[in-house]
Structure 1
Amino acid sequence: MILKNIKLSNIRSYRSQSIDFPDGSLLLSGDIGAGKSTILLAAEFALFGIMKGDLSGENLLRYGSDEGSVELKFDVDGKEVIIKRNLKRAKDSTKQESGFIIVDGKKDDGTHIELKARILDLLGYPKELVSKSKSLVYRYTVYTPQEQMKHIIFSDREERLNILRGVFGIDRYKRVVENTSIILKTMKERSKELEGRVFGIEEKNRQLIFQKTELEKAGKRLGEIRPKLCSAAKLVEDRNRLLAEKEKGMENLRQLKKELEISSMKLNDKVSLSEKNRKEQEILEKQAFETSERISGLDVRTARSLERIEQSIKENDARIKSILQQRSGFSESKKHLERRVKELEKSIEESAEHSMNLELKEKELLELKKKTEAKDRLKRYAEELEHGINDISKKLNELEALRKNSESIMKNILSMQTCPMCTRPVEKEHKHDITAREQENIRRSLESAKLLENQLNEKKEGLKDIKKSIEEVFESEKRAEKLGAEAGSLKKTLDGMAEKKKELARSEQELVSSTEKLLALQKEDVDKISRELEDEKSLLKRLQEKNHLEEILGEKEARKKELVMMQEEIKKDIGDINNARIMLYDKLKAAGDAETSYLNAKKGCDEAKENMKLLQIEEKGIATQEDGISGMIKILEKEINEKLLAKQRLERTRQVQDWLENQFLNVVAVIEKNVMYKIQAQFRELFQQWFKALVEDEALMVSLDESFTPIVQQDGYEASLDGLSGGEKTAVALAYRLSLNKVINSIVGTIKTKDLIILDEPTDGFSSEQLDKVRDVIEDLGMKQVIIVSHEPKVESFVNTVLRIGKSGHVSSVGG
């Protein structure tokens, strides 16, 4: 893999930057904080995306920007690859958006996970890294940040081993041991469960033997009772036949009793009906006499017919209603006309005032229209002032941000004792220069802000006056609209005044006419007509009552004749019913012995059925007991078989458990130990070789223990890493870094990043002689592309290309 180009958009201190990577050795040079490491982190982000804990989107996306992107171009295995990833700021976080990858001109869009899978495949990295947040192979072969390299050297033994297991790809052995422990725990729990299932198998066998003995006893009892049940069934059958014969005679007896009961009911009904008719005859005689007396007492002497009287009542009633309605109508019409005349007279008097008001309103309306003509000119002027105020406010905000940034820089540089990247002391002269520069920036910002604030206040005052004038214009428009409506209403009122005068004349004439008609109607004698009407209604009522009573009297006479005929028929029916009853009594006397014979036969049949029922219940109880015992035997046999099967599984589980604990785990531990020993031997040899190339002191030697911890010996005695000089510590870290690169590249044969290495501040604290040694180390590496991040000027002399990183106004840029 060889890097060719990277494009940064809103990434940390870079706004928009394109950087080319030539083959050979390349130095990224610049002051601390200039943006050198940002380029390397951006390249890593383009390849693998956001890495939890190491490379977050929040740290990558430029402050104040909502979107950013990194596009990386590189060659791998003869293919040209371009990959682009995007960042977008959300409400509470910064997230990766979808991107694309182009391989030899073929473009594919994809999510951040899909892009990572494609990159791992192209670089020959293990596929299981897709689900992991970190790419340890890349971090410890191609690019290891300075702080992360120090961490692996100075961390505790177990943490270092876990990191290296992941880097070398042999952490699978540890996972095997952990998974085996989980399996063993599960198997132990399973063994306890199986032991619980096997428990009580002897008791179940004893219960099975007992139930089989009980089943044999029940079978014998069934064999004894079934012949008795057959005999009882035959006896029931014989007695049922006898009962059927006796049932026929009993049925004839029941029929005779039923007929006698029916004849008794009919006789009672006829006697009751005769008595009821007699009472009704007496009531009708009395009612007919009373009705005749009421007809004789009515005074209905008249020569007119009923129809003539009804017609006269209708005519007089209609005449009275007509007179009353006409009186009411003319009276209401007179009142309405009187009110209308008064209204019209008042309206005519008010018209003179309306005419004067109309002249005043039209004059005021003309003056208001003149005021509203300046509205558009005032609006344009107000908009110009608002734009000016917004522009000045933006400039003031920018000046305030620059002032705060300068104060932050002064605060940070004054409190800084050592450089966070190279750990060198920060000189006072450097602090003074930066402080003086930022103070001058603050002074210029404050002066500019003061001038802008004066301009802002002037424009705000002007805008306030303009808005007041506009509000006055708006009020004039509203007043003009109201006056226009009022003037229009007054014009319509004056236009209708002539019509109202004509209406007044017509109303006065109608009032005179209505008064005359009302006087004529009042002369009619309504009371006399009403008295005649009441007399005729009284006569009509008496005639109607007489006719009704005569109809009732006729109906009662007809009912009396009908009742006489009914009584004759009832008397004849009672004689026939009594003759039939005498014949039924004679037949019942002849059939009296049949009931006694039937009852004896029924008693014998019931006794036989009861005996058979008792035998059937006994048989069913024994059979149910037999079925229950059989079911219990099946359950016991099933439980015993399950316990035997559980016993076999328990023995097998214990065998596997013993094999895992005493054989398998030991074999895995031996394999891991052998693999780690081979890696450690190769690592130790390379580590000593690289350290010797960097440090010529024969008295100072390094080695590795079994946990890959660097061991330092000085004059034959073990020494502490903390006791080494800054340059010696850097030499240990660089030698460890280079050894790790070589070992990983040799173990993981499929990776395609062997031609590239990136060294982050590899010469921190080196002497001039040691810097010369670095030149030899770079040549010994023999890689096609070596990228070095350093602010050592001497490094520039032994690299092929130098890229200078600068920063101005919080924006980084790259020069030649």
Structure 2
Amino acid sequence: MILRSVRLRNIRSYEEEKIEFEPGRTLLSGDIGSGKSSILLAIEFALFGTIRGTVASSSLLRNGAADGEVILDFEVGDKSYALKRTLKRTANGISQGTGYLITNGVKAEYSPVELKSRVLDILGYPAGFLSKNKELIFRFTVYTPQEEMKQILLEPAELRVGTLRRVFGIDKYKTIREGSEIFVKDLRQKNNENKVRLESLPDKQQQAKSIEERISGIQEKKKILFPRQQEAIMLLASQQRVVEGLEARSQEAKNILQEISLTKRDHDSQISQRGMLIKDTGALQQEILELEQKLGAEKYSDDHLGSLRENIQAKEKKVQEYEKKRAHIIVRLEEVKRRIPEIQQEARIMNDRLVLLPEKQIRLDQLRNAAKILQINEEKREGLQKDVQELHANISVIQSAITKEHLLIEQVRHLDECPTCKQTVSTKHKEDIQKHSLKKIDAAKNDLLDIRHKHDEQETSLRDMEAAIKELQAKQRAFDVVNVEVKQLGLVQDDLKRKNTELHMLIEEKKEVAGALENITTFDYDEFQEELSRLRKQLLLMEQFAEAQKELEKKQEQKNEKEMAAARIQENINALQEKLTTLESASESMEGVEEELSRAKALLQDCQRKVHALDVEVALLEKEVQTVQEQLLPLKEEIAKLLCIQQKMENVSQIKEWTEKFFIKLMESMEKQVMASLYHAFNEVFCEWFSMLIDDPLLSVRLDEEFGPVIEQNGYETEYESLSGGEKTSLALAYRLSLNKIINDLVPSIKTNNLIILDEPTDGFSTEQLDKVRDVLAQLDIPQIIIVSHEQKVEGFVDRIIKIRKNDHVSSMS
């Protein structure tokens, strides 16, 4: 993790400030109370939010401010992050608001709790540490506030060991051990409960055995009844087949009688249909005779009718063409007559407009030269304007030179000492300078008079030229107007030519159309219509005779069909008579079947009663077996459950014994080994850091079994309180640096191992001890180190210094 910047708004003593960080060693320098530690608290707040008892919202939000915020920019690995947290003052107090997290430019908003979860995930804190120790890990590895540097050394041994156990996750062994003891207690209680339940197992097993013996006795009775039941069933099946055969013969006799009845009815129906057909045939014969008398000898063929229809259609088409052509000629003649006066009127209007054309052309020639003269005069005007500007610039230069000389005269008049060589300026020298400047002024004034005279002449010429150009521009505008009018009259002249041509063509067309109308009236339209009416009447008469011929042919076909149908019905009547004779003979052979069937059914009922009696007896036995088995089934299920409990009891006993005799002791052993390993590593690093900070062979430290510092001076143990201020700070700093290294080594997933923040690590240090801090910083293999200190000498140990000052209760960078 590398910090890039932190932005504070209304946080503690800051109103609005942004502090930027870089890799390497950075010093936050300033007087005591200037606001250095506030920056560190803001960084911690941005990462974790408010922490109960440690980072309170009331201690962060600036007094009197309604809201505040912290934005922290940092990098972890190859990803960049921008993290924002907010505070808001309400009637109920100060609370956190919604913040956001920008990851590689992608922004997402979160609640305070969600934001903390995302930060812990980014920093790689182990999941098992998140519920209790997250702030401890950060404060032991990255940042410890100034007032908490020595707290872990001074607190009771039990609290110190408990804190270290939580930080390194060693308390999990104790938790597992205590949980295992509770687990063993639960297993023991369950076994006692199961023993009580298993007391009824022998009685239930004996009861199940008795029920099974009873079922076996019932099954023996069923075996004895089975042969008798099978014999009765076979006899019943045989008699059933006899009855079915007789029932089939009885049904056959009934079917024959029914078919005889149907055949007689069909025979009578066929005879009736034959009589009706003979009657219809006679009626058709009479209609045919009447049609033949009506037609007589007159006959018309289809070809004759077709030829007549084609002749009528040709004449109708000729009449339509005549009417259409005559109407078209009349319409066109009327259109030409209407169009000729219109064009003549348009031509008269155009001639009236063209009377002005010669006058406009003369006026256009007169104005054409004005455009050429205007262009020449505009070029001359540009030259005059340029000359006037140059003369005006020369006047300004000369006036500036005159002013400069006057200033020089004034300066020299009051000058006593040369500002360059520091020599005294004589009165004669000042007079010479003034005379020389006055000559320059006179010459410049003469030049100025000449230039002003030329300037006035050029301005007069320019004004005359402007007046001439305005007059020419007016003529140019008049030329443009007349030119447009001449072009428009030219277009009118072209239109007049086209109108005259169109008028000539319409007059010629009028003559042609009138001649065509005169020629078409020679056609005798009325005589042609009378001929067409006569042909239509002839066609109608021929169509009526043709329809009568078709009706006669249709009646002939119907008569032939009915005669053939009558012949077919006669054949059916003969066949039905033969079938009726055969059926009556078969019916006589079926007499006596009903009596035989009645006797067979009585014998079948007797067999059914015997089979039913045996079935009832067997069913009663099966019902008894079912009832007894229903009693046996839950009993067996209960026995199976008890046997399963018995097996589980054995397994539970084995687990309980393994947990008591092996697992709990294993956890105790592992805890001791981990604590011993941690102690040796911690003690070794702690001694190294302290010896580097305190170069005194007579003063040494080590850790006791409870991770408390043991101080030896001149071979004797001494108390912490007897140390000097610098020695106490060195002891706390060595303990802090040792914690940082051990935690980062034992928890490799943490991604804050390339950052450390030291808050006033040199409190009470002598000059020699401050030099030792330089060596400590050189030994720290950490890419980014941020130090808070008011010691001026520390500035020589770092790469970059950020100075903090406070004015009127507002902190800022200086």
TM-score (norm 1): 0.52
- Mapping 1:174-189, distance limit 5 Å: 174-176=174-176, 180=180
Q: Provide the residue aligned with 1:313 in structure 2.
A: 312
Q: Provide the residue aligned with 2:639 in structure 1.
A: 640
Alignment partner of 1:93 is 2:88: no
Per the alignment, do residues 496 and 802 of structure 1 end up closer, same or farther by CA in structure 2, a change over 3 Å counting? same
Q: Provide the residue aligned with 2:232 in structure 1.
A: 232
Q: Which runs of 5+ in 2 are unaligned?
A: 8-17, 61-67, 85-97, 106-117, 376-484, 695-702, 711-719, 806-810
- Give the Cα separation in 1 of the matches to 2:188 and 2:515: 126
- Give the Cα separation in 1 of the matches to 2:346 and 2:257: 108
Q: Provide the residue aligned with 1:805 in structure 2.
A: 801
Per the alignment, do residues 556 and 637 of structure 1 end up closer, same or farther by CA in structure 2, a change over 3 Å counting? same
1:438-494 deviation line (CA, Å, top 9, x unaligned): xxxxxxxxxxxxxxxxxxxxxxxxxxxxxxxxxxxxxxxxxxxxxxxx999999998
Residues 260 and 580 of structure 2 are in contact (CA less than 8 Å); yes or no, is this contact kept in structure 1? yes
Residues 28 and 803 of structure 1 are in contact (CA less than 8 Å); yes or no, is this contact kept in structure 2? no
Residues 218 and 622 of structure 1 are in contact (CA less than 8 Å); yes or no, is this contact kept in structure 2? yes
Residues 146 and 760 of structure 1 are in contact (CA less than 8 Å); yes or no, is this contact kept in structure 2? yes
RMSD: 7.2
Alignment partner of 1:529 is 2:525: no
Aligned amino acid, residue 144 of structure 1: T
Residue 92 of structure 1, CA deviation: 5.8
Per the alignment, do residues 113 and 256 of structure 1 end up closer, same or farther by CA in structure 2, a change over 3 Å counting? same
Residues 350 and 496 of structure 2 are in contact (CA less than 8 Å); yes or no, is this contact kept in structure 1? yes
SS in 2 for 1:805: strand
Residues 805 and 812 of structure 1 are in contact (CA less than 8 Å); yes or no, is this contact kept in structure 2? no
Per the alignment, do residues 671 and 589 of structure 1 end up closer, same or farther by CA in structure 2, a change over 3 Å counting? closer
Q: Provide the residue aligned with 1:267 in structure 2.
A: 267
Aligned amino acid, residue 543 of structure 1: M
1:628-678 deviation line (CA, Å, top 9, x unaligned): 865874564244323432355368659978998999989989998999999
- Give the Cα separation in 2 of the matches to 1:488 and 1:178: 115
Aligned amino acid, residue 801 of structure 2: I
Residue 232 of structure 1, CA deviation: 1.6
SS in 1 for 2:790: coil
- Give the Cα separation in 2 of the matches to 1:299 and 1:92: 115
1:384-432 deviation line (CA, Å, top 9, x unaligned): xxxxxxxxxxxxxxxxxxxxxxxxxxxxxxxxxxxxxxxxxxxxxxxxx
Q: Provide the residue aligned with 2:149 in structure 1.
A: 149
Residues 143 and 759 of structure 1 are in contact (CA less than 8 Å); yes or no, is this contact kept in structure 2? yes
- Give the Cα separation in 2 of the matches to 1:340 and 1:197: 127
Q: Provide the residue aligned with 2:512 in structure 1.
A: 513
- Give the Cα separation in 2 of the matches to 1:198 and 1:351: 133
Residue 497 of structure 1, CA deviation: 6.3
1:598-637 deviation line (CA, Å, top 9, x unaligned): 4543564476467647756875786587578658745642
Q: Provide the residue aligned with 1:163 in structure 2.
A: 163
- Give the Cα separation in 1 of the matches to 2:159 and 2:328: 116
Aligned amino acid, residue 276 of structure 1: M
Per the alignment, do residues 527 and 87 of structure 1 end up closer, same or farther by CA in structure 2, a change over 3 Å counting? same
- Mapping 1:487-502, distance limit 5 Å: 498-499=497-498, 501-502=500-501
Q: Provide the residue aligned with 1:589 in structure 2.
A: 588
Per the alignment, do residues 744 and 114 of structure 1 end up closer, same or farther by CA in structure 2, a change over 3 Å counting? closer
Per the alignment, do residues 234 and 709 of structure 1 end up closer, same or farther by CA in structure 2, a change over 3 Å counting? same
- Give the Cα separation in 2 of the matches to 1:350 and 1:634: 126
1:742-779 deviation line (CA, Å, top 9, x unaligned): 6898999979999x998532455x5xxx7479679979
Query: What is the count of residue pairs matched by the alignment?
Result: 603
Residues 177 and 664 of structure 2 are in contact (CA less than 8 Å); yes or no, is this contact kept in structure 1? yes
Q: Provide the residue aligned with 2:280 in structure 1.
A: 280
Aligned amino acid, residue 544 of structure 1: E
Q: Provide the residue aligned with 1:331 in structure 2.
A: 330
- Give the Cα separation in 2 of the matches to 1:615 and 1:501: 132
1:17-62 deviation line (CA, Å, top 9, x unaligned): 57579xxxxx9865569998899999x99xxx96777999xx9xxx
Residue 504 of structure 1, CA deviation: 3.8
| Higher mean C-alpha deviation, range 217-226 or range 535-544 | 217-226
Residue 277 of structure 1, CA deviation: 0.3
Per the alignment, do residues 190 and 736 of structure 1 end up closer, same or farther by CA in structure 2, a change over 3 Å counting? farther
- Give the Cα separation in 2 of the matches to 1:532 and 1:245: 93
- Give the Cα separation in 1 of the matches to 2:226 and 2:633: 26
Alignment partner of 1:215 is 2:211: no
Percent identity among equivalent residues?
22
SS in 2 for 1:592: coil
Residues 300 and 539 of structure 1 are in contact (CA less than 8 Å); yes or no, is this contact kept in structure 2? no
Per the alignment, do residues 704 and 611 of structure 1 end up closer, same or farther by CA in structure 2, a change over 3 Å counting? same
- Give the Cα separation in 2 of the matches to 1:524 and 1:51: 116
- Give the Cα separation in 2 of the matches to 1:171 and 1:489: 109
Per the alignment, do residues 348 and 290 of structure 1 end up closer, same or farther by CA in structure 2, a change over 3 Å counting? farther
- Give the Cα separation in 2 of the matches to 1:323 and 1:779: 127
- Mapping 1:445-484, distance limit 5 Å: none
Residue 226 of structure 1, CA deviation: 1.9
- Give the Cα separation in 2 of the matches to 1:116 and 1:591: 109
- Give the Cα separation in 2 of the matches to 1:546 and 1:243: 77
Q: Provide the residue aligned with 2:172 in structure 1.
A: 172
Per the alignment, do residues 536 and 315 of structure 1 end up closer, same or farther by CA in structure 2, a change over 3 Å counting? same
| Higher mean C-alpha deviation, range 545-554 or range 169-178 | 169-178
- Mapping 1:236-635, distance limit 5 Å: 236-240=236-240, 242-243=242-243, 246=246, 253=253, 257=257, 260=260, 263-264=263-264, 266-285=266-285, 287-288=287-288, 291=291, 295=295, 306=305, 309-337=308-336, 498-499=497-498, 501-522=500-521, 524-557=523-556, 559-560=558-559, 563=562, 567=566, 570=569, 574=573, 577-578=576-577, 581-582=580-581, 584-598=583-597, 600-601=599-600, 604-605=603-604, 608=607, 612=611, 619=618, 626=625, 633=632
Aligned amino acid, residue 228 of structure 1: R
Q: Which runs of 5+ in 1 are unaligned?
A: 1-5, 22-26, 72-82, 99-110, 121-125, 371-485, 695-702, 711-720
- Give the Cα separation in 2 of the matches to 1:609 and 1:654: 66
Q: Provide the residue aligned with 1:108 in structure 2.
A: none
Residue 803 of structure 1, CA deviation: 6.7
Per the alignment, do residues 676 and 663 of structure 1 end up closer, same or farther by CA in structure 2, a change over 3 Å counting? same
Residues 9 and 17 of structure 1 are in contact (CA less than 8 Å); yes or no, is this contact kept in structure 2? yes
Aligned amino acid, residue 313 of structure 1: I
| Higher mean C-alpha deviation, range 634-643 or range 12-21 | 12-21
Residue 235 of structure 1, CA deviation: 0.9
Residue 808 of structure 1, CA deviation: 9.1
Aligned amino acid, residue 219 of structure 1: Q
- Give the Cα separation in 1 of the matches to 2:621 and 2:137: 81
- Give the Cα separation in 2 of the matches to 1:660 and 1:490: 123
Residue 551 of structure 1, CA deviation: 3.6
- Give the Cα separation in 1 of the matches to 2:222 and 2:266: 62
SS in 1 for 2:591: coil
Aligned amino acid, residue 537 of structure 2: S
Per the alignment, do residues 182 and 805 of structure 1 end up closer, same or farther by CA in structure 2, a change over 3 Å counting? farther
Residues 25 and 799 of structure 2 are in contact (CA less than 8 Å); yes or no, is this contact kept in structure 1? no
Aligned amino acid, residue 542 of structure 1: L
Q: Which has the larger radius of gyration?
A: 2
- Mapping 1:24-35, distance limit 5 Å: 30-31=30-31
Residues 6 and 72 of structure 2 are in contact (CA less than 8 Å); yes or no, is this contact kept in structure 1? no
TM-score (norm 2): 0.52
- Give the Cα separation in 1 of the matches to 2:668 and 2:345: 122
SS in 2 for 1:591: coil
Q: Provide the residue aligned with 2:760 in structure 1.
A: 761
| Higher mean C-alpha deviation, range 589-598 or range 189-198 | 189-198
- Give the Cα separation in 2 of the matches to 1:651 and 1:617: 51
